[in-house]
Chains A and B, each alone.
Chain A
Amino acid sequence: MTTPARTICLGINYRTTPVELREKLAFREGAVPEAVQEIRALPGFDEAVVLSTCNRVELYAAHSHDDHAAAHDALRDYLAQRFTLDAGQAASLDLYRHSVEDAARHLFRVVSGLDSMVLGETEIFGQVKAAYQAALGAGTTSRELNKLFQRSFTVGKLIREKTAIQRGSTSIGSVAVDLAEKIFGGLKSCRVMLIGAGEMSRVCAQSLLSRGAQSVIVSNRSHEKAVELAAEMKGTALRFDEWENALHEVDIIISSTSAPHYVVKPEMIEKVMRQRRGHPLFLIDIAVPRDIDPAVNDIDEAILYDIDALQDIADEGRRERQRQLVICEQMIEEQLVKFGLKNLPP
């Protein structure tokens, strides 16, 4: 197997560059085909792929320069020119530069979600695929980059199938969604009620809505705030003295009031469960001190999680992904050897 000896990668990401500069250097979706053609038209460049997401801008290219440094400099100058950076801005760019084996390793890590802000996330796989398809459509890939990107997709799939890097949730919002899905299956018919309009409740509700939850009811001591939040989430607002009567209409309750005592009590939920006739109820208590009496969890079909329980799951999810990271890195090294991109250690 031949080595793509002239492949390089130059880029910035969320670790090296603040969002203010990243957004300045981002390629619009429709501008990518034009950009890859511009790069290929540069002297000494044969192939190009541009990966531009909210967290990274990376240029992959195959070149015929005498050395990789000259090719990297040419790409940096292209970026500076394209985004009209002055000499000082261009010089201050904290760009990473990878060549050959390192470029392949970097791409494999990116595709597998190992270089992502949320370790193991899968969206990047589709983004890299779209970037490659755009370059393929523009006719700016050939032997070197075709092989490299196709291998990277193989590695990405392998890591997804053979490791648990994507398993578990790493944020409170995604933990809430995961749990809701394990209770109700899909969330399409799920109605959510927010008791209290705190920031964390809003985050959880938004996560549930983004995964298809049907509707949101917001109830808050300040009715104006409830109306405002309900409007933001295209839901309905309910006066604070009315939420108890609407409990039986919802599947998920997120409570985050500032009350010094329990707001949701077992007798309320027992009554609601009789009306629900076997349908489960998911309760999320974000408040400190807690809003929902822990005895609610003893009621059949009522499943209660408080903020500590959600945080523990998110923490364990992050720890598990860190443990899996070691296995993933090892697999990438094996794949580099397999694809002839790295020599076997002596």
Chain B
Amino acid sequence: MVGVISFHMPLDRFYLWLATLAFLGGLAHAVLVLRRGTLHESRWHWLPMLLGFAAQTAFLSLRGQQHGRCPLTNLFEVLIFIGWSTVLLYFLVGATYRLSLLGVFTAPLVALLQALALASPLDHLPAAAILPRVPNPWLEIHAAVSLIAYAAFALACITGVMFLVQERLLKQHRIHALFYQLPPIHDLAIAIRRLALAGFLLLSIGLAAAIPLKLPVSDPKLAAALFVWVMYAAINFIMWRRILTARQIAWLAAAGFFVPFVSLWIVTKA
């Protein structure tokens, strides 16, 4: 008698696993061709990212239908939403600045975010009483736009890492496959500046959307978001005035993302 293994997985979780595997597959393919030194612009490079993005969108869409509101009800969904926004921005920025290799660096971060979300018990649905029966549109705009801003900071962080790697290769005269595939440091420096500025502007819009909510400044969520806003205002000022070197700015962009990343816990726990 042949045994039958019953395998049941909710559809939304299936989409999430699919997205994670697509990003990991894309990363594996990119690393393979990178090692061979034959990374070229091709649909095979974009396809896993596109597939992962479609699966992420399907997950968020299903969750949105379940909740009847923007699916940002717990840390699990927040992480997935940031991952989705990061990939969305990657498509916009990667194409604009010809930073195709950004995908190689973006894929592991998004896969990590999703693996973290999948592996941890973060996905506890909130009690119905906690959430208002009718969603407040200002709250939804505030949350969604602020998280897209965080995704821009994540991409600025990734671009900062790419800058530091390329600059190190140039300084140490290590001219090999990765050097030829990474974009010029000048282009990366511009991309960092624009991503940090885009994130800052988006976060400003997100915070402005919170004004009608009349939240007290002492509210931990608002305080955390304001802290991130002030920090990126300072970073953008430093970039604008060219107070630091491009290398120091890349470090700021890379390390600076730690603050919004940690603030997510504060925002979702509060």
A224: chain B residues at CB < 8 Å are: none
For B164-189 the 0/1 string (1 means CB < 8 A from A) is 00100011010101011011111101
Flag if B185 contacts A164 (CB, 8 Å): no
Flag if A309 contacts B185 (CB, 8 Å): no
Flag if A182 contacts B36 (CB, 8 Å): no
Flag if A309 contacts B246 (CB, 8 Å): no
| Most B CB within 10 A of own CB, among A162, A167, A305, A316 | A167
Flag if A182 contacts B179 (CB, 8 Å): yes
Task: Check if A184 is an interface residue, CB within 8 A of chain B.
Answer: yes
A164 CA to B178 CA, complexed, in Å:
12
For A278-292 the 0/1 string (1 means CB < 8 A from B) is 101000000000000
Flag if B166 contacts A280 (CB, 8 Å): no
Flag if B247 contacts A164 (CB, 8 Å): no
For A56-81 the 0/1 string (1 means CB < 8 A from B) is 00000000000000000000000000
For B14-52 the 0/1 string (1 means CB < 8 A from A) is 000000000000000000000011101010000000000
Task: Check if A179 is an interface residue, CB within 8 A of chain B.
Answer: yes
A182: chain B residues at CB < 8 Å are: 166, 170, 179, 182, 184-185
Task: Check if A200 is an interface residue, CB within 8 A of chain B.
Answer: no
Task: Check if B214 is an interface residue, CB within 8 A of chain A.
Answer: no
A93: chain B residues at CB < 8 Å are: none
Q: Which of A161, A184, A303 is B38 in contact with, Cβ under 8 Å?
A: A161
Flag if B175 contacts A313 (CB, 8 Å): yes
For A163-205 the 0/1 string (1 means CB < 8 A from B) is 1100110000000000101111100000000000000000000
Flag if B184 contacts A181 (CB, 8 Å): yes
A181: chain B residues at CB < 8 Å are: 184
Task: Check if A277 is an interface residue, CB within 8 A of chain B.
Answer: yes
The size of the chain A interface, using a CB distance under 8 A, is 26
A185: chain B residues at CB < 8 Å are: 183-184, 186-187
Nearest Cβ in chain A — how far from B174, in angstroms?
Answer: 10
Contacts A182-B179, A300-B248, A305-B173; A278 near B242 (Cβ below 8 A): yes
A300 CA to B187 CA, complexed, in Å:
17
Flag if B38 contacts A278 (CB, 8 Å): no
Flag if A303 contacts B36 (CB, 8 Å): no
B166: chain A residues at CB < 8 Å are: 182
Nearest Cβ in chain A — how far from B158, in angstroms?
Answer: 19
Identity of the chain A residue whose Cβ is nearest the Cβ of B244 in the assembled complex: A278
Flag if A297 contacts B36 (CB, 8 Å): no
Flag if A303 contacts B40 (CB, 8 Å): no
Flag if B186 contacts A184 (CB, 8 Å): yes
A303 CA to B40 CA, complexed, in Å:
27
A241 CA to B260 CA, complexed, in Å:
53
B38: chain A residues at CB < 8 Å are: 161-164
Identity of the chain B residue whose Cβ is nearest the Cβ of A324 in the assembled complex: B37
For B184-205 the 0/1 string (1 means CB < 8 A from A) is 1111010000000000000000
- Closest A-B pairs by Cβ, 5 of them: A164-B37, A300-B245, A185-B184, A277-B242, A185-B186
- Having A179-B170, A300-B247, A301-B246, one finds 4 other A-B pairs with CB under 8 Å, namely A167-B37, A278-B242, A300-B246, A301-B247
A residues within 8 Å of B by Cβ?
161-164, 167-168, 179, 181-185, 273, 277-278, 280, 297, 300-301, 303, 305, 309, 312-313, 316, 320
What are 8 A-B contacts with C-beta separation under 8 Å? A164-B36, A168-B175, A183-B185, A185-B186, A278-B242, A305-B173, A312-B173, A316-B175
